[in-house]
A and B are shown apart, each in its own frame.
Chain A
Amino acid sequence: MLVLLTICFAAALLAPLVHRAFPRRAGTLLAAAPLAVFAWLGAALPEVMHGHPRVEAAPWVEGLGLEAAFRLDGLSMLFALLISGIGALVLLYTQGYFKNHPQQGRFLMVITAFMASMLGVVLADHLLLLFIFWELTSFTSYLLIGFNHERAEARQAALQSLLVTVLGGLFLLAGLILLAQVAGTWRLSGILGQGDALREHALYLPILALVCIGAFTKSAQFPFHFWLPNAMQAPTPASAYLHSSTMVKAGVYLLARLHPALGGTEAWSTLLTAVGATTFLAGALLALGQHVLKRLLAYTTVSALGAMVMLLGIGTTDTLKAMAGFILAHAFYKAALFLVAGGITHETGGETSVDQLGGLRRAMPFTFACALLAGLSMGGFPPFFGFVAKENWLHAIGRHPGLVAATMAGGAAYVLVGLSVGLKPFIGRRPEHLHAHEIPWSMRAGPLVLGLGSLALAFACGPAGHALIGPAASAVAGETLPVHLHLWAGFNPCLAISLATLVLGIGCYAARPLFGRAAGRLAPLVRLGPDAAYRGLLATTLRFAGWQTRMLQTGILRDYIRITVLTAVALVGAAFLHAGGIRGEARLSPLSLRIGLVSVLMVLATFTTILAKSRLRSIMSLGVVGYSMALLFTFHGAPDLAMTQLVIETLTVILMALAFHHLPVFKHGSPARMRAIDAAIAIGVGAAVTVLVLAALHVQTPTEVSDYYLDHSQALAHGRNVVNVIIVDFRGLDTLGEITVMAIAAIGAYALLKLRPGKGDTP
């Protein structure tokens, strides 16, 4: 599996090159990678479906306990097949959708990288590995939503999705770390076996809450659902792939994956059922008032994700089976509908509103056929797989009146959306201005396979249930669940409810304009929703950051020095006082005569510096302070420091002399009050540091570290000058960092000197 992921990531890296070499067939060529994965998964299917997961692990960063561990069981299999299968179709579709687009290579690269990351999420058997791939999907999703980065809306939507999903990711990380601590292992397979112990543990609730926040943000659950409809700014292939069939299901996958470990408690079922049902209904309701093709689909995706979480939350064996079936059905019809919607917009010159579309059946007969197949499956019409899944769902929730009513309401909305996208654009009268032609071949494969698949799966629902849905549901439940699906289950209450939903949905479809008007009137209310909260929070954060930056980064050297010095003294001083101050253990080190003399010299030189009437005299006195400092170093047996200090001091004087040119005429510019404050700060800080240093000198510091360096300097590093050995050998990495910082600082100073405004543009 590591090999497969490597192939996919390599394909992503090569994508721009492939596109450059074969501009017309790049998508087809790149589709080979997911097809290879698909074929490998197919070969592994017989083994996996009989309950023998494929496992592999290789050490990665052993010090961190990080392993490249993968595990392919029924649940992973279902997701991985969808990811690689739909991935191949979407890559092919991209080739036609972005025909002659100069940035096609970039798009192919990111979407292939996303595919590889998503495969990583569903295959990983190590919590940290899973998290890494999880974040990679957020990141690639950001790049895909913001693909049209010239547009402000696309940038905002991309940032929004990134902030929401990554914020959730942080919660998830905390949850995963707690989970691993409690379970004592990072391996998922190990954690899943400890369900009982985990559920009893005191940290169970925090873990559950953190993991759920991560999963809910990713899977666009209420109240984090708002980013998904906005993410429709992404090009359609990305929407079809990420924001309907794969990435947004990562949260559902994670919750399903952890079900054996965390599921089955009161808290679990309450939280998931409540959030899932809310999302399911809210998404369906919000979808009713939409008229933009992709937004219609997006809101029903939100709703469908809610349904999956809800079914998972109820957590009976039947609902788990229903969830697995619904995942499969939804992936097929929703991806197909997105691809169709993209095709319509693409071939009509950018029309996105359902209300402006009509009568395309003659111009786009092929698209019509695919759209109808998928749309009917979405609505749950027999004999499509959507119908089978819905039957199964109704059967699973049993006679609970609230859930049945919710399912009917949601199901009616699905019928409306399915027909709006699958039927409405193609029938009726074609508006005068609308010109369209059929989508090219490369864009047909996706809708065709997925649309026909929705039909074929219904007739092959027995084997599909046995091979895919059963093993997936078994992995979620933690026990073997046989699944028997039937297209025709006989006359029963479920069928009656299903048909009633269809009738209700067709009624809603007929009354669509009504919903549109109602939504228009309710629009101000929606503006108070979580999206507005997000915007408010973001704006507040930015304002705070701006205020803080203006406070701290005034651009006035005096303020920087004040803040730095006062902070340092306050922190060290607080620690000093906390440790007992000068009256405690620490006593001041006595001063020798020569040190006292040098100190007096330094203080005198300092006053000369401040009171000097000319700049040159000021700098020279400052040099005296520096040289005296070198003298102090010599007294304390630090010749290295003394030597460096001498050279530095000389160079400083020279640098300052050179800087004379750029300075205005010398004068004491600041008012007396300011100077008094500065003097108080300077004297206070000076006194405090003096006391601290003298106290520190008196304390016998533990010498283990110094002794180690002294003892090993010669033996290990062949050097007698311990200072130098520490700098270049023992702590060499620090030095490397320091000289890097030094070089970067020099570049900054150089740029400031050379690129001043109004100075011409000679570099």
Chain B
Amino acid sequence: MTSIILRTATRYMFPPLLVFSVYVLMRGHNYPGGGFVGGLFAGSAFVLHALAYDVASARRLLRLDPRDIATGGLAIALLSGLPGLLDGGAFMHGIWWDLHLPGFELHLGTPMIFDIGVYFAVFGVLLALVFALGEEG
């Protein structure tokens, strides 16, 4: 399945897809989006690459084993619950830090970190499956 059109398109599509996935992740708290769909977008970028070239190439591009990424995502999600616990609340009790930057206010919190964990978990799981399927046959 080598198509010069697809390959060229992929080269232009790949970076925006990744950037867009992070954008979707970060805006998720206030607008449609979030870790789940963000992870899917990021995964799609690599799936596209795997389709246009091959799975081995996509794996090289990714460098990390997708299974490790999924595990890492789970770990991040799990660890994001600890600050609340240490702060005296329940596990996963949200902790927020308000940053007053010139011009606007930024709210950072453990739920954001949790969402980042979801992002990586979805990303890793998707790629682990797609790569495994693609390497068959």
Contact = CB atoms under 8 A, between A and B. Distances in A.
Contacts of B78: 736
A658 to B, nearest CB: 4
Contacts of B29: 717-721, 724-725, 728
A719 B115 CA distance: 13
B73 A739 contact: yes
B104 to A, nearest CB: 13
A729 B32 contact: no
Nearest to B108: A718
Given A728-B114, A739-B121, A746-B125, A651 B44 contact: yes
Interface string B18-45: 0000001000111111111100110110
A648 B134 contact: no
A724 B129 contact: no
Contacts of B58: none
Contacts, number: 133
B132 A753 contact: yes
A658 B132 CA distance: 10
Contact of A720 (B30, B41, B136): B30
A727 interface: yes
B7 interface: no
Nearest to A742: B125
Contacts of A721: 28-34
B43 to A, nearest CB: 7
Given A659-B133, A721-B28, A739-B73, A647 B40 contact: yes
A743 B117 CA distance: 12
A65 interface: no
A651 B43 contact: yes
B67 A750 contact: yes
Interface stretch (A244-252, A295-303, A637-645): A637-645
A647 B30 contact: no
B51 interface: yes
Contacts of A659: 133
B52 to A, nearest CB: 12
In this complex, the member of B47, B81, B96, B111 whose beta carbon has the largest number of chain A beta carbons within 10 angstroms is: B111
Interface residues of A, number: 40
A596 interface: no
Nearest to A745: B125
A644 B40 contact: yes
In this complex, the member of A640, A721, A728 whose beta carbon has the largest number of chain B beta carbons within 10 angstroms is: A728
A654 B130 contact: yes
Contacts of B132: 749-750, 753-754
A732 B40 contact: no
A661 B32 contact: no
A650 B44 contact: yes
A647 B70 contact: no
Given A718-B96, A739-B74, A753-B136, A732 B129 contact: no
Given A662-B137, A727-B36, A743-B121, 6 more contacts: A655-B130, A721-B28, A733-B81, A743-B70, A750-B132, A753-B136
18 contacts: A643-B33, A644-B37, A650-B44, A661-B136, A718-B109, A719-B29, A720-B29, A721-B29, A721-B32, A721-B34, A724-B34, A724-B115, A728-B114, A729-B94, A732-B111, A735-B114, A739-B118, A750-B129
The 5 closest A-B CB pairs, nearest first, are A661-B137, A719-B29, A639-B32, A746-B125, A718-B107
